[in-house]
Each structure stands twice: as C-alpha cells, then as structure tokens.
Amino acid sequence: MFQATPFTRRKQASELLAKSIFLLMTLLMVLPLILIVGYLVYQAWPILSLDFLLTNPRHGMRAGGIWSPLLGTIYLVVISLIIATPIGVLAAVFLNEYARDTWFTRMVNLAVVNLAGVPSIVHALFGLGAFVLAAGLGKSILAASLTLAIMTLPVIIASTKEALAAVPMAFREACWNVGASRWQTIRHVVLPNSISGILTGVILQVSRAAGETAPVMFTGVVFFKAIREGDLFAYGPFDQCMALSMHLFTISTQVPDVPKALPYGTAVVLLGTVLAVNALAILIRVRLRSRRKW
C-alpha cells in the first residue's frame, strides 16, 4: 500500500481548505436570500389567498386585494418584452455577425455597456420627454412599456452577443463551405445554438422590468385605478394602469393604517410573479440546451 507523503497531505489539506471556503461563500449568498423570502412569506401568510389576487384594492387601499396592480404589471412586462426582445436580438446579431471591427462599432458596443448602468430615474425622464410628450402617447401603458424596453435593451443586446460569440466559428465555416449564405448560417445554425443564452438576457429583462418604479411612475402608472375584477383585457394600450412596484411603495409610505400583512403580501406576489416567469424561461432554456450537440 502506498502512503501519503507530506507533500500529498499538504495538497489534500489545501484542497479541503479551498473547498470549505467556496462552500462558505455559497452559503453566505444563499442563506440571506432564503431568510428574506421566508420572512416575507411568514409576514404575508395571513393575507395570501386567491381572493387577495383577484380583487381590487378597497377602502383607500387599506383592504381588498391587488388585481388591478397585478394585471398592470403583467401588461407592462409583456409589452416591454415584445418590444425589446426582437430589437435587442437583431441588434446583437448585426454587431456580432455583420459589423466589422471599426471605431464606430467599438463606440456602439461601449454605448451599450454604459447604457446598462444608467440609473432608472434617467430612463424615466427620457421616457417622459420622448414618449409621453414628444411622441404624444400621453401617460399610458404603451409609453411606460416603451420606457422599460429602452431601459432593458442593453442587457438583452449584451447577453445575446455573448451567446452568439459562444457558438464555435467552425460551425459557421462548415456552413459557408457548403454554399450557405451568412443569413442562412445565422438562422439555421447560430441562433438555434445560442437561444439558451439569449433567454438569459430575457430573464434579466423580466426581473428588472417588473420591479422598476420610477420609469413607470413618470410615464403611465397611477396611484389608484379600479378595473373589472377577473377581466384579463381590462386595460388598453393607451390607458393608465396600476403596478405592483408602485402600489407597494404607495401602501408602505403614503397610506396610513394599512394592515401589516398587506405590504408583505404585495411584495410576495411581486416576487412570486418574477420567479414564476423566470422559472418558465429557465425550463425552456434547459430544454433547448439539452438539444445541443457540443
């Protein structure tokens, strides 16, 4: 039998130390999230029910449910997603597959990176000036969704570019060698093999769009609006709406004598909505990634 030498024992000890440190770092990231979510659910549990989801706020928002802000949030997220996703993906395809490495493309890439760090209040003022006033859309769901789309475009463009760049160049060269055009190669090879990475950017877009307050507050969200309960088409694109983020801010800071569980219930529903959309996108991404052959 071989016996471990001092050198081998030192390597094993350093390996165990590194493993323990990495595990501790992981726990330090996960445990606070579990504690926060658990605390929110515990505080919101007395009010969580189907009736809470399907009824409008009542009695000055001190009672009732969150149907109007919940539906408004869904409208804002879905419409901004419909607008931002194709534009962001097509822009990333052009920058990664067609554009040459010139000073102009480098400036565009730098602008995309910088726009991702612009504060949301700046996007709110831009949306107010560009869509509400200049474009004449008024304060509406469409204006708010366009503002959210502009705000989330850099994330989609950056993540899509990374996903496209991850596809091996050999795939493209093989298609070109058999006579395929650049667009045929992109459509049939590059995009199908990068769709899982593209969905990562979309997931981030959904999370940010659902939780933003300032951009929608300036462009289309109102303090209170009653709609027909249970009607999925109660809002029109040029109507103003309520949103969960704004509603949570309002009942937490502006409305007195609110039941303690009501803000927590609103926060849990907002978090649950984002997690549900993210989970659906992750399942689709995992299914698509499992089909890759490389």
First to last CA, the chain: 41
Q: How far is CA 233 from the centre of its chain?
A: 23
Quick one: which of 35, 68, 62, 26 has its CA closest to 47?
A: 62
Percent of the chain whose pLDDT exceeds 70: 98
pLDDT score for 2:
64
In Å, what is the CA distance from 126 to each residue of 7, 76, 129, 147?
63, 17, 5, 8
pLDDT score for 1:
59
pLDDT score for 6:
82
Q: Is the pLDDT of residue 64 over 70?
A: yes
Question: What is the C-alpha separation between 169 and 185, in angstroms, rounded?
Answer: 11
Q: Is the pLDDT of residue 281 over 80?
A: no
What letter would DSSP give residue 186? I
Question: What is the C-alpha separation between 196 and 225, in angstroms, rounded?
Answer: 38
Question: What is the C-alpha separation between 11 and 112, in angstroms, rounded?
Answer: 44
pLDDT score for 17:
92
Q: Is the pLDDT of residue 30 over 70?
A: yes
Q: Round the average pLDDT of the chain to a whole number and report it.
A: 88
- pLDDT tens for 78-119 read 999 899 999 999 999 999 989 888 888 889 888 888 887 888
Structural domains of the chain ordered from first start: 65-290 (1.10.3720.10)
Half-sphere exposure of 81 (CA within 13 A, CB side): 20
